[in-house]
Structure 1
Amino acid sequence: MDVKIARTAGFCWGVRRTVDKVMEVAGQADGPVVTLGPIIHNPQAVARFRDKGVGTVNAVGEVADGTTVVVRTHGAIRDELERAKARGLEVVDGTCPYVKYPQAIAQRLSEEGYHVVIVGDANHAEIKGVVSYSKGPCTVVKPGGEIPEIKARKVAVIAQTTCIGAEFERVVGALALRHREVRAVNTICNDTDERQADARALAREVDAVVVVGGKSSANTRHLAEICREIQPRTWHVETEAELDRAWFAGCKVVGLSAGASTPDWVVEGVAAWLRALP
């Protein structure tokens, strides 16, 4: 089987930076090392960190004294970081710089009196962190969801870094008709835009698409949704173990894309499985 891999498949710059930082800390720390939440949304990568002795906690209250805490790629809730510092814990900030941007924007615009609207998943770690930096009213609008009535003259709209651009535009446009002043700051990561464009182009050129990445990874799910709109024969898997030969009956060329938190070795495992098909 001929396999065509998207140019931007696999780790983005921000994720690779954080992963390298965790491995560096694990090799140098005198005591235990934990990440505050899964360092990235990929079970296979998290398992490898665990094998290296790096644990995962959900809150600072679970951390023992003398432990080094690494903040995951998606950032952390502001209060949690303050608790860690108040306890004197060693904190290594692995937050992706592209995630720090909406955090800073939410804080600044809320201080300027804007009601901050974030287009994203309220349950996602990144958005929980961004919300925690807002100093005033803040509303999270789910992509594709209803836009609630907001009683404010001044509204500022930002987005989850992995948001689909069309959803950001939809929310900004709707709010612009309702409020006297609407300020839009596009906080979508450049890598996300590029990766999604590559996925669209790939889906048009192949007989089927496999998108590889954690099932809890928002950017990976978006890639699968984008590809499926163009190529119905699109599957989202975490590893080659989930693939089924029947999916590719009659296919000559299969496209392969992967989320920003998918390790290269996982992508290669899927690619090798596909190439072995007759």
Structure 2
Amino acid sequence: MEVKIARTAGFCWGVRRTMDKVDEVAASAAGPVVTLGPIIHNPQAVARMREKGVGTVAEVQEVAPGATVVVRTHGAVRTELERARARGLSVVDGTCPYVKFPQVMAQRLTREGYHLVVVGDANHAEVKGVVSFAEGPCTVMKPGGAVPEFKAKRVAVIAQTTCIGADFERAVGALALRHQEVRAVNTICSDTDERQADARALASEVDAVVVVGGKNSANTRHLAEICREIQPRTWHVETEDELDPSWFTGCTVVGLSAGASTPDWVIEGVAARLRDMR
């Protein structure tokens, strides 16, 4: 089969920056190196980091004295950062700059007296981190979900960086009908918009689509959802081992997209298996 790979498939700039930073720290640190949470939402990449001696902890209290703590791409909860510094641990901030933006806006907008609404997944590490920087009332609204009920005259709306633009637009419009003043700040990562547009175009040109990336990666799941709306024969896999030849019966051209946290070598493994299928 012919395999068409999306131009934007694989690591985004922010993820590559963080991965390079972890490699540098691992090579130069005198003591242990750990990341606060999985460095990115890709099990294969995390496993490779483990092979290099980089561990993963869920909380700062698990970190051994003398260790270097690297904050993952998605950022960290503010109190965890404060605990790390209070313990005198060496902290290297690997937060993607595009994730820093909603953190800064959460703090600034709530200081200005707005009730903050974050359009995103309340259980996602990025959103938990953003919410922790709010210094006033804050509500998380699930993309495509019901409009939350609360009393406030002034409301500010921001989004998880991987949010689908249409979901953010719907949330802002719905809130504007309920509150006197609604201020919207678009915190969706520009790479996310470009990657999603690429996925839409790809899905319209092929007989089937494979989206590669961690099952717990929000941006990868969104890519699969977008492709599936256009091309029903869309599958989300983490590695080539999950591919089922029966999915591609009658297919001549298969599209391949990948989340921002998917390593190149994983994408190439899936592409090679697809090309070998008959």
Following superposition, the deviation at residue 34 of structure 1 comes to 0.1
What's the counterpart of residue 159 of structure 2? 159
Distance 2:161 2:155 in 1: 19
**1:215 equivalent in alignment to 2:194:** no
| Aligned partner letter, 1:226 | I
Following superposition, the deviation at residue 144 of structure 1 comes to 1.5
Following superposition, the deviation at residue 149 of structure 1 comes to 1.4
Deviation string, structure 1 residues 197-238 (Cα, Å, up to 9, x no partner) = 000000000000000000000000000000000000000000
What's the counterpart of residue 88 of structure 2? 88
Distance 2:17 2:40 in 1: 11
What's the counterpart of residue 7 of structure 1? 7
Following superposition, the deviation at residue 95 of structure 1 comes to 0.1
Distance 1:70 1:148 in 2: 35
Distance 2:8 2:276 in 1: 23
Residue aligned with 1:91, SS: strand
TM-score by length of 1: 1.00
What does 1:9-158 correspond to in 2, within 5 Å? 9-158=9-158
What's the counterpart of residue 266 of structure 1? 266
| Aligned partner letter, 2:244 | D
| Aligned partner letter, 1:82 | E
Following superposition, the deviation at residue 150 of structure 1 comes to 1.8
Deviation string, structure 1 residues 237-260 (Cα, Å, up to 9, x no partner) = 000000001100100000000000
Distance 1:25 1:153 in 2: 47
Gaps of 5+ in 2: none
State the identity as a percent. Answer: 82
Distance 1:209 1:175 in 2: 35
Residue aligned with 2:146, SS: coil
Deviation string, structure 1 residues 169-201 (Cα, Å, up to 9, x no partner) = 000000111111100000000000000000000
Distance 1:252 1:190 in 2: 32
Distance 1:146 1:34 in 2: 38
Residue aligned with 2:145, SS: coil
Gaps of 5+ in 1: none
Give the aligned length: 278
Deviation string, structure 1 residues 65-93 (Cα, Å, up to 9, x no partner) = 00000000000000100000011000000
Residue aligned with 2:135, SS: coil
Distance 1:241 1:61 in 2: 37
Deviation string, structure 1 residues 108-150 (Cα, Å, up to 9, x no partner) = 0000000000000000000000000000000000111111112
Distance 1:144 1:155 in 2: 18
TM-score by length of 2: 1.00
| Aligned partner letter, 1:192 | T
Distance 2:205 2:150 in 1: 43
Distance 1:148 1:183 in 2: 16
Following superposition, the deviation at residue 53 of structure 1 comes to 0.4
What's the counterpart of residue 277 of structure 2? 277
Residue aligned with 1:117, SS: strand
What does 1:225-264 correspond to in 2, within 5 Å? 225-264=225-264
| Aligned partner letter, 2:76 | A
